[in-house]
Chain A
Amino acid sequence: MSEMFYWQALNRAMDAEMAADETVLTLGEDVGLYGGTYRVTEGLMAKYGEWRVRDTPISENSFTGLGVGAAMLGLRPVVEIMTINFALFAMDAIVNMAAKIPFMSGGQFPMPLTIRMPGGVAKQLGAQHSQRLEHMLMNVPGLRMAVPATPQDAYWQLRQAIRSDDPVIVLEHELLYFSKGGVDEMISAPPIHQALVRRQGRDITCVAYSRMLPLALQAAEALAAEGIELTVIDLRSLSPIDWDTCIAAVEQTHRCLIVEEDCRFAGAGAELAATLQEHCFYLLDAPIRRVAGMDIPTPFNGTLEAASIPQADDIVQAARQMMARNGAVR
């Protein structure tokens, strides 16, 4: 086990897979000489050469399409899109090609394609660079989407994505690249889609993913001091979602709070709330509640930006309100 940054964990995963399998290659803007916008491909070009670590022009649809073609021909390409905001250019390659070719070919063409991209609200990057578009990609049957929140998961899940014969989006978060955590390269990984219980509590099941996980854990600490105990679930995957873990937790707490940075309307939280109430209706002692980003383009102003997405205190407030009983906060 060694401590490392999230970006370093991704870099290790890339290195390990490229060393293990020469069909693995990576391509995208600045992945070669520059080492990737967030340093994830740092040092790979020197090690594996420019054929396997390819700098591309600014042409997301084209180089993602190239990745689709390469995957069809038996390679294991890892496409890096600089941010999820630019993935909109590549939607045809992702939605119409990557997600559908295995199905339309009756399985004759597997799609061992990995698409890495950061998303989320960072620090004052403006509305066009601060989007959370996971809801769009969740709505594409045929795609898998991993959302690692820790360096360990970044390491495990990227390696699993590269080895998968399905097209997998690895959705990273711009503010997590420089978060630090332990990474053990020797222990075996849980399945890529399995949700993990990060904290056990008695009162509320809090479902979070990506950067909302550390905020949920922070809120859980604050709430524990008041006697409100949260179970915190890290989803780790938005497609598919590990319902069993979520349902088992709600069975114990009878309350469910969903936290997402994405806009509230028609987002991941909406899907979670809808499906969990289908399974847990008779177990719920309060309506399922969501803490989510506002349904607005992200403001540039720092204060407004922070106010537009959930903070730990919002989670604390929501949990307190869910537990409000007998006219007073418990």
Chain B
Amino acid sequence: MKTEITMPVLSDTMQTGRLTRWNKSVGDAVKKGEAVAEVETDKAILDVEAFSDGYLTGPLAAVDTDIPVRQVIGYIADAPEAAQTDTGSAETATPGTPPAPPSVPPGAVAEKKTTPPDKLPPAISTAAATPADSGFLEKPAPLPQPHVVAAQTPSVHGLPASPYARALARDLELDILQVKAGPDGTIHAAQVLAAALAPQDADLRMGPPYTIERPNILRAAVARNMSATLNTPAFLISSRFALAPLHAAAKAAGLSLTLALSRACALTVAEDPWFNHAWTQEGLAKRSRVDMGVAVDTGNGLITPVLRDAAKRPLKELAEDWRILLGKVKKGRIYPEDYQGASFYLSNLGVFPQIERFNAIVPVGASAILAVAAAGSDGLTDFTLSCDHRVIFGADAARFLQRLGKRMEDPSWLAGGEGQP
């Protein structure tokens, strides 16, 4: 008996994962809970664990491919003999097509896969006809495999496209050659619509020679998230305060500046509930806790670990959380629950002394993000707040910066490490 290993689902928004390596080979014994493969998701590399004891068996999905969640990527057999029998590739394995389901005669399956429906014999006149040479084969018809679909679908310069997709592309004045096929190798209406709605790619044909490199999954996720903010009507508002008092107080309390800044922001947010609201289609999401997202440079992209309940929990506890989160970022083992769902964000580029001021983009789901630049020659630091104007108005933001400024200049609230105002 074989049990399926499927692409895990790690967040509501995860649609595919990239299989980066198999830790075992076909035939190897595996223990329940053992990591058999590694998968790269939006922001992290994760282990795929075996759900039962047994032996790894194929078909195994190919590494370095993006695979839809819940799709079968391999199997665990309960006996070593069974594991050795199937070593093929699982590129076409889907949950709907486990290899040779036991209820169908193996011969019939094999025949189905090699005989397209339109090549069937025209008539069967006697009951003596066997399944192998008769219309028996057509019920149920085989699931279209990618290569079969490609062969049957009319093509546009070698690219298969459905008639509706082509008609739609024509009506939308879209060059169908620029439309990427779906994973089944065919352009359907969905792909044309997606291309029509997608931002236009730069036309690089007239410029310098180039090669296309697929972005790593983290960079692609950031690009996707940032594009999603396009519809956020944002405004910017800046102020300058001295950061040195807070820095000194943090040092005295044995805390990092990042944590002190996060606490200052969280306390300020807690004083004005509008900063803890998020705009949704249904209405304003009113949150009952301040979760602070803090931008971290991984060296290979941006990630925002979240300090939960940053206004109320003891600073020592938050400091420990922050240490764990940074460790996870460093190892590339950060989970969606670690970096999603903040209500307010902080982005500090103050370690770069030449950065006098900058703007940050309000992530979807937040009310605002605070950009902290480096201290200027006058000892003052530029704080720029980007706000979702559907939630925050200018005067709210001004008052926010006013309160934050006071907190910066008189950081007595930080003394003792508990930080209650």
Q: Mark A residues whose CB is within 8 Å of B.
A: 127, 254, 263-265, 281-287, 289, 291-297, 299, 307-308, 310, 314, 317-318, 320-321, 324-329
Contacts and interface: CB of A to CB of B under 8 A. Distances in A.
Interface in B222-240: none
Given A265-B135, A295-B124, A296-B127, A283 B163 contact: yes
A286 B129 CA distance: 32
19 contacts: A281-B163, A283-B167, A284-B164, A286-B162, A286-B188, A294-B135, A294-B138, A294-B139, A296-B124, A296-B127, A296-B129, A296-B135, A296-B136, A318-B141, A324-B94, A324-B143, A325-B182, A325-B183, A328-B95
Nearest to A250: B164
A285 B165 contact: yes
A263 B129 CA distance: 15
Interface string B290-328: 000000000000000000000000000000000000000
Interface in B347-378: none
B70 A328 contact: yes
A318 B140 contact: yes
A289 B140 CA distance: 12
Contact of A328 (B71, B127, B138, B167): B71
Interface of B: 67-68, 70-71, 94-96, 122-124, 127, 129, 134-136, 138-141, 143-144, 152-153, 162-167, 182-184, 188-190
**Most-contacted residue by chain A among B67, B138, B184, B190 (CB, 10 A):** B138
Given A296-B124, A296-B129, A328-B70, A282 B163 contact: yes
A327 B183 contact: yes
Given A324-B143, A328-B68, 7 more contacts: A127-B127, A284-B163, A285-B188, A287-B153, A294-B135, A295-B138, A328-B95
A293 B122 CA distance: 14
Given A127-B127, A295-B124, A314 B136 contact: no
A263 B166 CA distance: 33
B164 A320 contact: no
B186 to A, nearest CB: 9
B163 A314 contact: no
**Most-contacted residue by chain B among A283, A286, A308, A314 (CB, 10 A):** A286
A161 B123 CA distance: 34
Contacts of B122: 265
A264 B135 contact: yes
B134 A296 contact: yes
Contacts of A295: 123-124, 134-135, 138
9 interchain residue pairs of minimum CB distance? A295-B135, A327-B183, A282-B167, A285-B164, A328-B68, A285-B162, A285-B189, A295-B124, A282-B163
B71 A327 contact: yes
A121 B67 CA distance: 44
Given A294-B138, A297-B127, A328-B70, A282 B184 contact: no
A264 B167 contact: no
Contacts of B123: 265, 295
Given A264-B135, A296-B127, A329-B95, A282 B68 contact: no
A299 B126 CA distance: 11
Contacts of A292: 138-139
B96 A327 contact: no
Contacts of B152: 287
A289 B143 CA distance: 12
B139 A254 contact: no
Contact of B184 (A265, A293, A327): A327
Contacts of B141: 289, 318, 321
Contacts of B136: 294, 296
Contacts of B67: 327
Contacts of A328: 68, 70-71, 94-95
B72 to A, nearest CB: 11
A324 B138 contact: no
B167 A326 contact: no
Contacts of A317: 140
A326 B68 contact: yes
B94 A327 contact: yes
**Most-contacted residue by chain B among A292, A320, A326 (CB, 10 A):** A326
**Most-contacted residue by chain A among B70, B163, B188 (CB, 10 A):** B163
B96 A329 contact: yes
B164 A254 contact: yes
B159 to A, nearest CB: 15
B115 to A, nearest CB: 14
A295 B138 CA distance: 9
A243 B139 CA distance: 27
Contacts of A326: 68, 182-184, 190
A7 to B, nearest CB: 30
A282 B164 contact: yes
A325 B184 contact: yes
Contacts of B96: 320-321, 324, 329
Contact of A321 (B143, B153, B163, B167): B143
A265 B162 CA distance: 25
B355 to A, nearest CB: 42
Nearest to B162: A285
A201 to B, nearest CB: 16
Contacts of B153: 287
Contacts of A293: 139
B108 to A, nearest CB: 11
A18 to B, nearest CB: 43
B18 to A, nearest CB: 14
**Most-contacted residue by chain A among B123, B129, B152, B189 (CB, 10 A):** B189
Contacts of B165: 285
A292 B95 CA distance: 25
A295 B133 CA distance: 11
B138 A314 contact: no
Contacts of A254: 164, 189
A327 B7 CA distance: 13
A149 B167 CA distance: 36
A323 B162 CA distance: 13
Contacts of A329: 94-96
A285 B162 CA distance: 5
A239 B134 CA distance: 29
B2 to A, nearest CB: 20
A216 to B, nearest CB: 15
B162 A284 contact: yes
A265 B152 CA distance: 19
Contacts of A294: 134-136, 138-139
